[in-house]
Structure 1
Amino acid sequence: MREDNRRYGSIDGLRAILAISVFIHHYVITYVWKTKGIWVRPESDFYNHLGQASVGFFFIITGYLFTKKMILTKSNWLDFFIGRVFRIYPIYLFSAFVVILYSFYRTDFSLHVPIKSFLFELYNWGMFVTPSINGNNNASLMLAGVTWTLSYECFFYIMLP
């Protein structure tokens, strides 16, 4: 543990290994998508588990770190929650904006769905649910379909109080 009691070097090393494992998992999925035109889980159980098991361990580590930070150090959960929102949401909103912009580019910058449907799609993207955007059914694939993890992370934050 570092002197400031906020980091565990061994956990940081494990998180690096897990991140590389998830990267490899996503690479295999993307490779198949680009070469065969289908978005499917890896055929190899090894590559599939690199992603699934690594994400599972990330959630376990998150639970441990949240418990340590919030319960043992008596941190203010509201300040922590606000800090996490400003850490996650800006980059997510930027990424979602790029996906939406690209989706409009693919549809010649014209609205291909009713405005009510489009507004509902935007709302869903704000809640980390990634449906099609303006008729682009592959919109969620631009973010590798991984926004579901952000919903789980938000669940951790909601559980803090």
Structure 2
Amino acid sequence: MLIQYKFILWMFGLILLIGLLFGSRLFSFMDENSQVNRVKHLDGLRFFLAFIVALHHFLLCYFYFHGQAWSDEINRPNYPIVMNMGGLGVAIFFMISGYLFACTQPSSWIMFYQKRFFRIAPVFYISSIFCIIFAFFIQKDNINTDQLFNTFYYWFDAGITGNKPPLFGLENSNLINAGVTWTLFWEWGFYFSLPVICILRNKIGLLKLSLTILVICTYFISQYNQNYAVYIAYFAIGALARKLPEKIQIPRYICDIGIILTVVFMLAVADRIYNIVYLPVMALLFIFITMGGDLFGLLKLRGFVRLGDASYSIYLLHGLAWYGMNKYIAVQNLVLNRTQYTLVSTAVLLILLAICTLTFQYIEKLFIALGRRKFSWLKE
């Protein structure tokens, strides 16, 4: 495996290659998704978030197949920056959800949850089906079918329970897709809390509500479980950032510089992302983004905006690519040097991204449209 500084150079090389390839006419079909009121730099941001999460899991998956535990802490001494990338990506995804939905006021909560289900479930099911197929072939000589239907229930719950039991007796089968579905448990928790949030928001205002939740997370919930406190606080920061641009204005170039400085701090200085003491830095980072920071236009580049649409597919499917690649190498007893492994990984990543543009175009879009339909069997 590449040492950290070479890994980061490879990452920047990938960004350049991806920007050129997916900004080309070959992927112009993704432009059909353009909307008049879309916030392009947030779309481009989504790609980068999924990208850094994928690279974080790339490293963990490599070491997992070389006998190490799937653990940030074990690899942190040699790869401190890369080990922070995954957490940073997830944190900002949570903030984006808080930003987008904290002001929601649906005319029908049934329709709201229908839309969320049709948005989340289809690619989740694709990921789960491939996990089941992988696990079946890995365990084909030693299949354990105890409580199989109960197991399948959890693998097709659209992430609501956050539980992924072993498939066919394969321990750590949740790592086949890099274990990414744990975040959906928190997303659903946020969605299910929205009716209460809306009542409180209408009584005291979103700004006061967000600050109150941040105080509760910092001084009370963190005393029992710091990770839980931080996850909840990220949604509150997203909501806070929705209101602050109405109160203050910052020049865009200051926002861009602020994004760079806060990202560098969180990746290179912070000991871990899910630490309550870094909430002010994370809040500053997201506020700079919502005030228009686009990294001097980088987040608005066509290729990244296109892939931003496919970011959910990238997030849920990248683990399958890394797991499948490493499993194939192990089964075939292939011996690859660093250069060969890096080239193969680059090809696999590009193929994955291309597939994800197709899953968005032909699966996600279809079910997003279905989710907006008012079915006759649904009562208001």
**Band the TM-score falls in, shorter-chain normalisation:** 0.7 to 0.9
For 1:133 and 1:153, the matched residues in 2 are separated by 24
Query: Deviations along 1:60-83, whole A, 9 cap, x unmatched?
Result: 111111124x14xx5544323212
Q: Which runs of structure 2 are paired with 1:114-133 in the superposition (5 Å)?
A: 114=146, 117-127=147-157, 128=159, 129-133=163-167
Query: Deviations along 1:109-142, whole A, 9 cap, x unmatched?
Result: 775243xx22222222233321101211131111
- The residue matched to 1:160 in structure 2 has which SS? helix
TM-score (norm 2): 0.37
Q: Which residue of 2 aligns with 1:160?
A: 194
Residue 22 of structure 1 contacts residue 51 of structure 1 at CA under 8 Å; is this kept in 2? yes
Q: Which residue of 1 aligns with 2:39?
A: 8
For 1:84 and 1:3, the matched residues in 2 are separated by 19
For 1:93 and 1:15, the matched residues in 2 are separated by 21
Q: Which residue of 1 aligns with 2:131?
A: 99
- The residue matched to 2:180 in structure 1 has which SS? coil
Q: Which residue of 2 aligns with 1:134?
A: 168
Q: Which residue of 1 aligns with 2:178?
A: 144
* Matched AA of 1:9: K
Aligned-residue CA RMSD (Å): 2.4
1:53 aligns with 2:88: yes
For 1:142 and 1:95, the matched residues in 2 are separated by 9
Distance 1:19 1:108, change over 3 A: closer
1:24 corresponds, among 39, 51, 55, to 55
> 5+ residue gaps in structure 2?
1-33, 196-380
For 1:125 and 1:19, the matched residues in 2 are separated by 22
* Matched AA of 1:60: M
Larger Rg: 2
Residue 99 of structure 1 contacts residue 142 of structure 1 at CA under 8 Å; is this kept in 2? yes
Report the CA distance between 1:59 and its aligned residue: 0.2
2:114 corresponds, among 82, 101, 123, to 82
For 2:36 and 2:128, the matched residues in 1 are separated by 36
Q: Which residue of 1 aligns with 2:65?
A: 34
* Matched AA of 1:55: V
TM-score (norm 1): 0.80
Q: Which residue of 2 aligns with 1:64?
A: 99
